[in-house]
């Protein structure tokens, strides 16, 4: 599977985001999702086979990290996508706070 098709699946993008700046074990990754360890393991395999993550084994543990260099321009796209989502979330949070400040309690004088 090529890299673009691999990241088309939302859960794989989430996994990539988790291992973007930090190496995590398969178990650490799996505990952040509401699916089975086997399902996460399959996603990790697709990401690894597509060259999007690196694998380091230490005994029985497997550690994954995003391979940004191997991604080429896809890495820039993913980073900008995540930044846009964070900016959108921040704007929504600020709007909600502003709306909350402007609400008056019931029975308050106008």
Report residue 78 as tokens: 């993913």
Domain chopping of the chain, boundaries: 3-99
Distance CA 77, CA 110 (A): 49
Is the CB of residue 33 less than 8 Å from the CB of residue 11?
Answer: yes
Which helix H or strand E contains 12, and what residues bound it?
helix 10-18
- Angle formed at CA 46 by CA 76 and CA 67, multiple of 5 degrees: 35
Per-residue pLDDT tens over the stretch 29-83: 999 999 999 999 999 999 999 999 999 999 999 999 998 888 877 777 777 776 6
pTM: 0.69
Range 3-99: architecture per CATH: Orthogonal Bundle (1.10)
The per-residue pLDDT for 104 is 54
Is the CB of residue 40 less than 8 Å from the CB of residue 88?
Answer: no
Bridge partners (DSSP) listed for residue 55: 64
């Amino acid at each position: 599977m090529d890299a673009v098709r691999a990241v088309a699946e939302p859960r794989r993008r989430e996994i990539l985001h988790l291992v973007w700046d930090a190496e995590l074990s398969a178990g650490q990754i799996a505990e952040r999702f509401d699916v089975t360890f086997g399902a996460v393991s399959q996603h990790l395999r697709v990401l690894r086979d597509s060259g999007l993550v690196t694998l380091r084994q230490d005994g029985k543990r497997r550690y994954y990290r995003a391979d940004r260099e191997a991604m080429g321009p896809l890495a820039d796209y993913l980073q900008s996508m995540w930044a846009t989502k964070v900016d959108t979330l921040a704007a929504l949070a600020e709007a909600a706070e502003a709306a909350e400040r402007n609400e008056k309690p019931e029975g308050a004088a106008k």
